Structure 1
Amino acid sequence: MKIIQASKLKNQDWNYLQEKSALKNPLVLVFGNRYLLEDEEVINNIRNEFPYEHIVFGSTAGEILCCNVHENSISVTAIEFERSSFVVERENILDYDKNAKTLGEALYDKIPKENLKHLFVLSEGSFVNGSSLIKGLEVEIDSKVSITGGMCGDDARFEKTVASYKENPKVGEVVLIGFYGETLEITYSSFGGWIPFGPERIITKSEANILYEIDGQPALDLYKKYLGDKASELPQASLLYPLNVTPEGKKEPVVRTILNINNDDQSMILAGDVPMNSKVQLMMASVDGIAEGAQTAAEFAMKNRKNNPELAILVSCIGRKLVMNQRVEEEVEQVRETIGEKIPMTGFYSYGEMAPFNESTSCELHNQTMTLTLISE
């Protein structure tokens, strides 16, 4: 595997992490600020610098490259596989009447199945129901095939996200990358480090990812009481106080970030499903707890590997970035120290992370986690 990485801050020259050289048919991952990805001049500059066919674009809430976290930047990772291969497909949620499950089924159907090892998802992040998308992808999936990925971001603006494959970035895109090869080794993990607090309550009314009532009370009204003065800062303030949701009949909880609120019916729109009769608690975090959570995620991802990783893709939640603020690079450094100082790292801050629970293959949508995908040939 040969990797070339470069970053470009606004109005500055490209900064290469390895010596610039030509690659053969690489997969090129471009993560960047949404405003930059909507600028045709910027896109043309990227294409001139990386004149390859298979370019995947995704907007972010912060770009991860090596052990640095950038804002208002473009980060590029070009990957030339020597013994493995990849296939990229895309669909747009606006062509599916915003039905993410149907889109997921259609997208998986397009991917060749022979020798498929892993799927990486880069999804629109502002209105796609990530849980439904995963359900669609997994309808016909082989249990040996794992899925990881993330929902695109838009800093803390929550206006819109953009993504694309080959074309210029646009709203509504969901990109699916299939990885193939007998020698390919891909491991993954997801861990948070957030702490539940307050009483455990029951979701008494919900529909998919819309939460209406908790313990028979309007969900938003109850949530605002917990937030106190910070309620006036919704929905941004909700990133600091996500929900810990344990669906009925399941042992493992998932964390759910609130993407938006509806004052008219006192409901909250979350990044993934919140089934009725689930147990729910508020969560909070410390900087140290988040950094330790990233280390734990890295330890899980490295646990049963046969070979050292050659590339790490990090997807971390924007809520973690907001809590850590100027110390945000500490969680990236924890990952680097655990997986190895010389392993190339790329990734982004997201509106939702996708990965199985540790020791599992069935994918889940997470919020407020550090999610890792480690790849080697």
Structure 2
Amino acid sequence: MKTIQLYRDKDRKWLYISEKQILNKPLVFVFGNRYLLEEPNIYKDINKIFPDGDIILGSTAGEILGNNVYDETVSVTAIEFEKSSFIIHSKNVKNYDGNFQKLGEDLSSEFPKNSLKHLFIVSEGSTVNGSTLIDGLEKNLSKNILISGGLCGDDARFEKTLASYNSLPKEGEVVAIGFYGEALEITCANYGGWTTFGPERTITKSKDNILYELDDKPALDLYKKYLGDKANELPQAALLYPLNLRLKGSNETLVRTILNIDENNNTMILAGDVPEGSTVQLMMSSVDDIAEGASKAAFYAMKNRTKKPELSLLVSCVGRKLVMDQRTEDEIEEVIEVIGKQSVTAGFYSYGELSPFAGQNDCKLHNQTMTLTLISE
């Protein structure tokens, strides 16, 4: 495996953090600030550097490159696989009228199943219901093919997100990369580091990812009551106080971030499904807890590996970044300490993370976690 990493800030000068070399038909991950990705020449500039590359673009709430976290940049990680291969397909939500499960089904059906090892997703993050997207993706895959990735971000603005494959970035795009080859070893894991507080309340009215009522009371009113003065800062303030979701009839819990609020209907729109009969509880965290959570995610991802990773794709939640503030890089350093400095590290801060729980095969939508996908040949 050969790699090149570089980035560009608002001054439009490309800076390499690795040695320049010629790559043959590389996979090129481009993670960047939404405003910079909207510049008309950005795709052309990257295509000029990697004329035979397969280029994936995704907007972020912060870029991870090496052991650093950047804001308002465009980061590039290009990979030439020497013993394996990849195939890329994409779909757009505008062609599916809100049927995210059908989009997922159609997308995963396009991948040949022979020698498919893993599916990595870079998805639009503004409107997609990540839970139903995963359901659709998994319908055409065998249990041993794992899915990981993330929902694109837009800092803490929640205005729109962008993604694309070999084209100018656009709204509504969902991109999937299928990795192939017997030489590949790919593992993934996630962990949060958040603590619950306050009463546990039952979801009495919801539809998909829209939360209407808790304990037969308007959910948004209750949430604002707990936030106090911070309610004036919604929806951004919700990133600091996500919901711990306990599914009905199960001990399994998931974290759900509030992506937006609807004042007219007194509802909250979350990144994934919130089924009726499930319970939710507020969560909070600290800098140290989040850093420790990142370390645990790395430990779980490394636990059953036979080889050290050569490439590590990190997807962490924008809410974690807001809590960490000036110490955001602490969680990246914790990850690198576990996975080793031999690995090339890249990724982004997201509106949602996709990964199975450690030791499981079924992919889940997570919020407020550090998610790792570790790759070696």
Query: TM-score category by the smaller chain?
Result: over 0.9
- Aligned partner of 2:327 in structure 1 is 327
Percent sequence identity over aligned pairs:
62
- The correspondence of residues 62-141 of structure 1 with structure 2, limited to 5 A, is 62-141=62-141
- Aligned partner of 1:190 in structure 2 is 190
Q: Does the CA contact (< 8 Å) of 2:89 and 2:176 recur in 1?
A: yes
**Amino acid across the alignment from 1:239:** L
Structure 1 residue 58: deviation in Å?
0.4
- The correspondence of residues 278-357 of structure 1 with structure 2, limited to 5 A, is 278-357=278-357
Distance in 1 of aligned mates of 2:113 and 2:250: 30
- Aligned partner of 2:275 in structure 1 is 275
Q: 3-state SS of the aligned residue for 1:86?
A: strand
Q: 3-state SS of the aligned residue for 1:174?
A: strand
**Amino acid across the alignment from 2:352:** G
- Aligned partner of 1:156 in structure 2 is 156
Structure 1 residue 53: deviation in Å?
3.5
Distance in 2 of aligned mates of 1:87 and 1:215: 47
Structure 1 residue 249: deviation in Å?
2.3
**Amino acid across the alignment from 2:36:** L
Q: 3-state SS of the aligned residue for 1:40?
A: coil
Q: Does the CA contact (< 8 Å) of 2:28 and 2:77 recur in 1?
A: yes
Q: Does the CA contact (< 8 Å) of 2:100 and 2:136 recur in 1?
A: yes
**Amino acid across the alignment from 2:330:** E
Q: Does the CA contact (< 8 Å) of 2:314 and 2:372 recur in 1?
A: yes
Q: 3-state SS of the aligned residue for 2:149?
A: strand
Structure 1 residue 12: deviation in Å?
4.4
Q: Does the CA contact (< 8 Å) of 2:47 and 2:53 recur in 1?
A: no
Deviations 1:308-343 (A, max 9, x none): 000000000000001110100000000011100231
Distance in 2 of aligned mates of 1:253 and 1:95: 32
- Aligned partner of 1:61 in structure 2 is 61
**Amino acid across the alignment from 1:40:** P
Structure 1 residue 19: deviation in Å?
1.2
Deviating runs (4+, > 3 A) in structure 1?
none
Distance in 1 of aligned mates of 2:115 and 2:43: 33
**Amino acid across the alignment from 1:229:** D
- Aligned partner of 2:177 in structure 1 is 177
Query: What's the RMSD between the two structures over aligned residues?
Result: 0.8
Distance in 1 of aligned mates of 2:326 and 2:264: 36
- Aligned partner of 1:375 in structure 2 is 375
Can you give the 5+ residue segments of structure 1 that lack an aligned partner in the other structure? none
Distance in 2 of aligned mates of 1:27 and 1:43: 14
Distance in 2 of aligned mates of 1:12 and 1:48: 15
Q: 3-state SS of the aligned residue for 1:276?
A: coil
**Amino acid across the alignment from 1:256:** R
Tell me the TM-score normalized by structure 1: 0.99
Q: Does the CA contact (< 8 Å) of 2:189 and 2:358 recur in 1?
A: yes
- Aligned partner of 1:264 in structure 2 is 264
Distance in 1 of aligned mates of 2:200 and 2:252: 15
Distance in 2 of aligned mates of 1:374 and 1:9: 27
Q: 3-state SS of the aligned residue for 1:226?
A: helix
- Is residue 197 of structure 2 the alignment partner of residue 215 of structure 1? no
- Is residue 29 of structure 2 the alignment partner of residue 29 of structure 1? yes
Can you give the 5+ residue segments of structure 2 that lack an aligned partner in the other structure? none
Distance in 2 of aligned mates of 1:105 and 1:338: 35
Deviations 1:25-72 (A, max 9, x none): 111110011111110123222222222331010000000000100011
What is the total number of aligned residue pairs between the two structures?
377
